[in-house]
Amino acid sequence: MTQTAVAAASSGRNALELGDVTPHNVRQLRVLNAAIFPVAYQEAFYQSAPTLGEFAKLAYFNDIMVGAVCCRIEPEQKRLYIMTLGCLAPYRRLGLGALMLQHVLKECDHHLNTVESVYLHVQVGNEDALAFYKKFGFVVTETLDQYYKRIEPAGAHVLVKRLC
Amino acid sequence: MNFTKTESLPAADQKRFNMIVNAYERKLYKKGLKWVDQLIKKYHDYADAISMRGLIIHCMGKKEEGYTAAKGALKIGLSSHICWHVLGLMHRSDKNYVEAMKCYKMALRLSPENQQILRDLCLLQTHIRDLDGLKATRHIILASKPSQRVSWVGLAIAYHLLGKHDVAVQTLQAYEDNDKPASTDVTTYDRDGWPKALDFEKSEMLMYKVQLLEEGGRIPEAIACLDKNKALISDLRAWKEQRGALLLKQGNRAEAEDIFRGLFDENPNNRNYLTTLESCVDPAGVQTGAPLDESTELRRLAFYDELAAKYPRSNILQRLQLNFATGDRFQSRVDAYLQRRIRKGVPTLFTDIRSLYADPAKVAVFDKLIPAYVASLTASQTFPGSSAKETSDVVLWAKFLAAMHDDKLGRTESALKHLEDGIAHTPTLIELYTAKGRVLKHAGDYPAAALALETARDLDTADRYLNGKCAKYQLRAGRITDASATVKFFLKENEEPVEKLAEMQCMWFETERGKAFAQQGDIGRALKQFYLVDKQYNDIHEDQFDFHSYCLRKMTLRSYIKLIRYEDTVRGHKFFFRAATEAIRLYLALHDKPLNAAAEAVLGDSAEDKERKKALSKQRRAQQKAQAAAPTEKPASKDASGKDKKEDKDADGASYLQSTTLLEDVMTFVRPLQQHATQHIETHLLAFEVYFRKNKPLLMLQSLKRAQRIDANNADLHKAIVQFALRVAANGATYQPTVSTVINQALPELLNKQTPKQFVEAYKPATLLQVLRNAEARLLVDPASKSQAIKLVVDAASKASDATIETFSTVQNALATTFGDKASATVVADLARKQYPRATLWK
Ligand SMILES: CC(C)(COP(=O)(O)OP(=O)(O)OC[C@H]1O[C@@H](n2cnc3c(N)ncnc32)[C@H](O)[C@@H]1OP(=O)(O)O)[C@@H](O)C(=O)NCCC(=O)NCCS
């Protein structure tokens, strides 16, 4: 081990960035979700992802795509639903989840008339996710017993954050 | 005479005629056609207009009509220089240079000082490199227009191309002397007291003069010229580079060093600056061949270390020292080098260090360091011996490098394991899939390699490079139709992919496609692809036409000379070389085994042979179809715009197969290689093969001598020499006495003064291919030694740990055909399968 190497190690780049979902890179989203989530998303999900604008983003760590968030607005209920938000396991606790979530929350500010709250489902037992969302002011409003069909445990917490 | 001469028309109509010429020059053909029709309506026998009309419709695609009109015009206007000039332009654009030249010269006889014709003649002469003719024309132009700078510069260039640097310099000098008032305004200022904007053209002319002086060996004068005119040179960096290089040439190392230190300081990643700087400082060290003695190595490293202290971020500085550092010094430096780049995530790292793998000692160092990185990063997320935690992506890049390292050393499974680990860790990193494809390709599993590249391409369909790679891999896997669909991805709708790609000059695509067709036995289509590559090189060559006038006008003289020199060697480029060698091999095979039913009958019933049969009968059908179609050939159909519609009448390349002059046709590919790819031994070996079949002893000899100069130990050369010796022994009596004299003098030299038999026995084969060719040669000199020869080959194959898939395949085929021994061919196939278990060739 040389000295230069030690010195450089502490100065890693660790660049966190967000990027768009496009028809060209949507396959990366598919591969990413398959690695993170136990449920498989439908073709329609990936068809629509590139049309979601700022509510669908990819997260990059040192130029590698390692995370993504996809949400949809539910206009009648005036709320935003986070369909997926996740990071590849080796890249957690680096701030990427926060970067994505904060981006989404900030986008909601531009839609204050149409979006009054943000909500999502977290599988029962997913303590990482619970801790993460609570940190950002989400609260569990109810717990559904039989939410997931093909995975165990089937229960899901509903987490909500009111924006105003 | 009742035809109307332009000179005799009223001024208004003369002007009108000039507008038509102008429209033609600016490619406004429709407009030009409308005007010229109006003029012809007014003056029926107006030859110049009729011929102009011919030229315009010729440009619009109606070539035949164009010629008919132009020739018709000549009948009434035989003494019109315009009519001759126009016909010349038409021939020129159809690349009929000899005819074009004749027409220009006729036109000039009728109008000797016509600048336009003189200029067109110059273009043509430059284009076909009729340099003496060019010189003469340039002299005429200069005599008639001595006040124009281009006249002088044009003449200087002609002399330069002729290699007469002194006269070229004199010519420029004469212009400068005439142009005194302008050339002394070094420090003239405009009315507001600002220095006058530098004259780019003058600057370029001076730099060109320096180049001429340098190439003419007049170094001190070149330096003096630079020094005197510094204030006139607009590109100061070029001035410095040139001056530094000249000083070094002159042996003035101290001053050159100053300059290159300054330049390196401006750009510490410029390889040329660094290497030149080192040659100034330590010429002995730079020139010492590898391996360096220890004191030289230490001295050179000290030089690098000293600079590195000042330029810690210079990549080239860190990289170049790895080439000559050895032992521990190499290890500590390469360790730092690799760690830094793994940490940064540099996907090209392996490509960057690959050349170091030529040295087994360095390979051993890599083999120690790289696995240790992976182990340590996996276990503790740190590099060995360090406590600094790395980020999660670092281990990924370490594995990536480890995979490339293993692949290079033939450890396919370990390489794939690293990549699969990487994919499990970060499945979104596209490089992992391309790397997987590469490893699988090296392992001979082309279908799986193509799948990996498809996965990579799907992850980013906006990446043109990936898409191209994907198509290439599909072709390797024989998926020709899929590959066309893939390349179509990047084309607009309704564009024909293959044609469009040719326009974009994607030569690799045609070459790979050609190889894929050849693999499937579709020789016609394969040849067609290689001809397309050849055509693209023709187009590149044609493209310079526009540059001849452009560069002179813009005075970009140095790049113009570069361009001309580049054009002269363009067929030495590796893309042409690859396509041409493939094409030549196909022609040789075609000559040896004409496509007929008899050839099919010889084939057996194995799966492979059945495939071959299928291919052969396919070709035969194509051949028959083409022959049947030939007599009833329809005239080219035209589309609405009246253009000759491009319809591919020879989609399957049957015309190439039908030719009765295969050994003449093949010269299209042989000749350019002999001219421009002389440094490749294959060029001469393939040329030999052609001449051997044409029975041209002197040309065979010439090719062998050229090959021997490149690599006397080459396996194919060894066999070729023996073939040649035997041919001479058999046919020598029929040679002309002069031919015999030459050959009898040269042959002993080729054979190391041995008999062919001694020559074969004295050969010390080191590689499997050398063993094979040696065995084939043995069989030629002594057919009785067959079983012994076979045994030598099989033995060598069982010990060949680094033989490529291609070599194994060559050996297997040779055993089955040349030696006619299926059993030993099977043995070799088994050996190959053991070494390349994934290779589809032996599945
Ligand atoms: C939940 C998830 C997206 C968090 O992403 P992340 O990039 O690791 O989160 P961040 O690094 O931005 O964390 C921000 C803060 O959230 C909290 N947090 C995140 N993960 C946590 C954990 N496992 N335990 C405790 N707190 C946690 C912390 O306060 C953290 O700040 P800190 O690291 O400075 O202490 C990630 O764990 C994940 O992808 N999980 C799998 C997918 C999933 O379950 N998604 C939720 C359903 S849509």
Is B254 or B4 the better-scoring residue by pLDDT?
B254
Specify the higher pLDDT residue, A3 or A125.
Answer: A125
pLDDT (0 to 100) of residue B624: 54
**A97: CA distance to ligand 1 center in Å?**
6
Q: What is the pLDDT of residue B180?
A: 56
* Nearest-Cα residue of chain B relative to residue A87: B426
Whether A163 and A137 have beta carbons less than 8 Å apart is answered as no
**Where does a domain end: B130, B165, B182?**
B182
Q: How many CB pairs under 8 A join A and B?
A: 88
Q: Are A58 and A18 spatial neighbours (Cβ–Cβ below 8 Å)? A: yes
Name the residue of A92, A105, A122 to mutate for ligand 1: max ligand atoms within 8 A of Cβ.
Answer: A92
pLDDT on residue B552: 81
Q: Do B336 and A34 touch (CB under 8 A)?
A: no
Q: How confident is the model at residue B615 (pLDDT cuts 50, 70, 90)?
A: low
> In terms of residue numbers, what domain contains B82?
11-182
CATH code, B129: 1.25.40.10
Residue whose CA lies nearest to ligand 1 atom number 16: A132
Spatial CA neighbour of A12 closest among B399, B342, B332: B342
The whole-angstrom distance between B468's CA and the closest CA on chain A is: 15
Residue B605: per-residue pLDDT = 46
Reported as half-sphere exposure (CB side, CA atoms, 13 A), residue A13 has a value of 17
pLDDT at position B638? 39
* pLDDT for position B569: 82
Which of B295, B277, B278 is closest to B286 using CA atoms? B278
| Residue numbers in B near A16 (CB within 8 A) | none
Nearest beta carbon to residue A1 from set B340, B384, B429: B384
Per-residue pLDDT band at B618 (split at 50, 70, 90)? low
Determine, yes or no, domain membership for B147. yes
The answer to whether A62 contacts B425, with C-beta atoms less than 8 Å apart, is: no
Q: Which of A96, A124, A132, A147 to mutate to test the pocket of ligand 1 (most atoms within 8 A of CB)?
A: A132
Q: Do residue A90 and residue B426 have CB atoms under 8 angstroms apart?
A: yes
A-chain CB neighbours of B426 within 8 Å are 64, 66, 88, 90
CA neighbours closer than 13 Å in the CB half-sphere of residue B225: 23
Catalytic residue among A24, A41, A111, A121: A121
Place of tokens 């490619």: B27
B393 contacts on A by Cβ (under 8 Å): 61-62, 64, 90-91
Q: What whole-number percentage of chain B has pLDDT above 90?
A: 70
How far is B318 from chain A, CA to nearest CA, in Å?
12
Candidates A51, A33, A55, A52; CA nearest to A42 is A33
d(CA B39, CA B20): 10
pLDDT band, residue B619 (cuts 50/70/90): low
Q: Whose CA is nearest to atom 7 of ligand 1?
A: A97
> Which residues from B are below 8 Å from A17, CB to CB?
none
Is residue A11 over pLDDT 70?
no
Cis amide prior to B631 (ω within 30 degrees): no
- On chain A, the residues whose CB falls within 8 A of the CB of B338 are none
Does residue A93 have its Cβ closer than 6 Å to ligand 1?
yes
Q: Determine the residue of A14, A16, A93 to mutate for testing ligand 1's pocket, defined as the one with the most ligand atoms within 8 A of the Cβ atom.
A: A93
Cα–Cα distance for residue pair B658/B611, rounded to 1 Å: 22
Q: What whole-number distance in Å separates Cα of residue B315 and Cα of residue B395?
A: 22
Domains observed in chain A: 16-162 (3.40.630.30)
Alpha helices in B504-573 (DSSP H): 507-519, 523-554, 557-569
Is A61 in contact with B388 (Cβ distance < 8 A)? no
B273-323 pLDDT, tens digit per residue, is 999 999 999 988 888 777 889 999 999 999 999 999 999 999 999 999 999
Of B332, B344, B392, the CB nearest to A90: B392
pLDDT greater than 90 at residue B368: yes
Condensed to tens digits (0 to 9), the pLDDT of residues B488-530 reads: 887 765 666 555 555 556 788 899 999 999 998 899 999 999 9
State which residue of chain A sits closest to B387, comparing Cα positions: A6
Residue partners of B112: CB distance under 8 A and separation at least 6: none
Is A121 a known active-site residue? Answer: yes
Query: Shortest Cα distance from B317 to chain A (angstroms)?
Result: 15
Number of domains in chain B: 2
Mean pLDDT of B693-712: 96
Which pLDDT does position B602 carry in this prediction?
A: 42
Q: How far is the CA of A132 from the centre of ligand 1 (A)?
A: 4
Tell me whether residue B610 is in a domain: no
Supply the pLDDT for residue B373.
98
**Residue B629: helix, strand or coil by DSSP?**
helix
- Where residue A119 falls (left for φ over 0; alpha for ψ -120 to 50; beta otherwise) is beta
Q: Which residues of B touch A1 (CB under 8 A)?
A: 335, 383-386
Q: Does B390 touch chain A (CB under 8 A)?
A: yes
- Please count the other Cβ atoms lying within 10 Å of the Cβ belonging to residue A156: 19
Residue B537 has pLDDT above 50, yes or no: yes
Q: What is the pLDDT of residue B193?
A: 47
Query: Does residue B68 fall inside a structural domain?
Result: yes
The single-letter DSSP state of residue B840 is G
- The predicted-structure confidence for B265-275, as pLDDT tens digits, reads as follows 999 999 999 99
Q: Is the predicted pLDDT of residue B599 greater than 60, yes or no?
A: no
On the question of pLDDT at B353 being above 60, the answer is: yes
Strand ordering across the sheet containing A56-61:
A16-20, A56-61, A64-74, A79-87, A117-123, A156-162, A139-144
A134 lines ligand 1 (CB under 6 A): no
Across the interface, whether the CB atoms of B460 and A32 are under 8 A apart is answered no
Work out the mean pLDDT of chain A and round it to a whole number. 90
Domain-located, residue B85: yes
User: Which residues is A61 bridged to in the sheet?
Assistant: A16, A64
Examine the fold and report which residue of B120, B148, B182 is the final residue of a domain before the chain moves on: B182
Q: Which residues have a Cβ under 8 Å from the Cβ of B703 and sit 6 or more positions away?
A: B684, B685, B687, B688, B691
CA distance to A13, B30, B57, B60, per residue, from B27 (Å):
55, 9, 11, 9
- pLDDT greater than 70 at residue B620: no
Under an 8 A CB cutoff, do B388 and A88 touch? no
- Give SS3 for B558: helix
Q: What is the mean pLDDT of the segment spanning B374-388?
A: 96
B190 within a domain of the structure (yes/no): no
**Closest in B345, B384, B425 to A62, CB measured:** B345
ipTM: 0.92
In chain B, which among 452-471 make CB contacts under 8 A with chain A?
458-462
B315 reaches A (C-beta below 8 A): no
Cβ distance B386 to A5 less than 8 Å, yes or no, reads yes
Question: Which of B345, B382, B428 has its CB closest to that of A32?
Answer: B428
Give residue B627's pLDDT: 47
Residue B636 has pLDDT above 50, yes or no: no
What's the pLDDT at B616?
Answer: 62
Q: Which residue has the higher pLDDT, B566 or B765?
A: B765
Residue B64 domain-assigned? yes
The two tokens of residue B627 are 């022959």
Confidence of residue B635 (pLDDT cuts 50, 70, 90): very low
Atom of ligand 1 nearest to the CA of A88: 39
Task: Please state, rounded to an integer, the average pLDDT across all residues of chain B.
Answer: 89
Peptide bond into B384 cis (omega under 30): no
Question: Is-catalytic flag, A24?
Answer: no
- What letter represents residue B485's amino acid? A
Q: Is the dihedral of CA B822, B823, B827, B828 positive or negative?
A: negative
Query: How far, in Å, CA of B66 to CA of B86, rounded?
Result: 10
The residue ranking higher by pLDDT, A150 or B493, is A150
Does residue B691 belong to any structural domain of this protein? Answer: no
Structural element, H or E, at residue B173: helix B165-178
A-contacting residues in B 727-746 (Cβ below 8 Å): none
Q: Is B380 within 8 Å of chain A by CB?
A: no
Contact B331, B369 (CB under 8 A): yes
The predicted structure's pLDDT at residue A5: 36
Q: Please say which residue of B145, B167, B182 terminates a domain.
A: B182
pLDDT for B570: 83
| pLDDT for the residue numbered B753 | 94
Residue B106 confidence (pLDDT) = 94
Mean pLDDT within B208-223:
96
In a domain, B718, yes or no: no
